[in-house]
């Protein structure tokens, strides 16, 4: 994909962008990761004695939990980005499509950054 004209016609919907297999694979890979990380987080929350600030902060502050939680956020945002991309490509037409895809990508990266930063703030708080 070195020829810009070819790349442009590919993204304009005039042929394969040759990224389908990679998109598909990462979507499944993140799904598999979320299958482990999602239930882990839900069960961890559910097993808390209560949802007080101290309990919740305690859950989020361990090194192991912060690591897993950061991975959860990263996988969630990645998986979500791939899914939303497919939905947009299927239903949004014309110039709005590219604009929506760009906004979606930016928002997903923003969410991932905010989420991981929040986890790190809790992890590194004294």
Partner 1 sequence: MAHRPLSPHVFIYRFAYTMALSILHRATGVVLSLGIVLLVAFLMAVAAGSESYERFVHFAGSVPGRIVIAACIMVFCYHLANGVRHLFWDLSWGMERAQARRSGVIVVVVTLLASALLLWVFLARGAMP
Scan residues 49-88 and list those touching partner 1 (CB under 8 A): 50-53, 55-57, 60, 69, 73, 76-77, 80, 83-84, 87
| CA neighbor of 110 nearest in space, from 85, 90, 87, 81 | 81
Q: Which is nearer to partner 1, 19 or 32 (CB)?
A: 32
31 forms part of the interface with partner 1 (CB under 8 A): yes
What's the min distance (Å) between Cβ of 2 and partner 1?
23
Phi, psi of 19, rounded to the nearest 5 degrees: -125, 5
Q: Pick from 8, 11, 32, 109 the residue near partner 1 by CB under 8 A.
A: 32
- Count other C-beta atoms under 10 Å from residue 76's C-beta: 20
The separation between CA 16 and the C-alpha centre of its own chain, rounded to angstroms, equals 24
Residue located via tokens 């490509």: 89
Q: Pick from 7, 8, 39, 67 the residue near partner 1 by CB under 8 A.
A: 39
CB 71, CB 34: distance < 8 Å = no
CB 37, CB 75: distance < 8 Å = yes
Q: Which is nearer to partner 1, 1 or 46 (CB)?
A: 46
Residues 59, 64: Cα–Cα separation, whole Å: 10
Binding footprint of partner 1 on the chain (CB under 8 A): 13-14, 28, 31-32, 34-35, 38-39, 42, 45-46, 50-53, 55-57, 60, 69, 73, 76-77, 80, 83-84, 87, 93-94, 111, 114-115, 117-119, 121-122, 125
């Amino acid at each position: 994909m070195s020829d810009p004209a070819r790349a442009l016609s590919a993204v304009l919907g005039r042929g394969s962008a040759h990224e389908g297999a990679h998109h598909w694979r990462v979507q499944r890979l993140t799904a598999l990761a979320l299958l482990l990380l999602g239930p882990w987080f839900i069960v961890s929350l559910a097993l808390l004695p209560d949802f007080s600030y101290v309990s919740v902060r305690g859950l989020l502050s361990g090194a192991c939990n912060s690591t897993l939680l950061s991975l959860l956020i990263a996988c969630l945002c990645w998986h979500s980005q791939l899914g939303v991309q497919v939905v947009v490509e299927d239903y949004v037409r014309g110039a709005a499509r590219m604009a929506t895809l760009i906004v979606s990508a930016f928002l997903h990266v923003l969410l991932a950054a905010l989420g991981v930063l929040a986890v790190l703030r809790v992890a590194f708080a004294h």
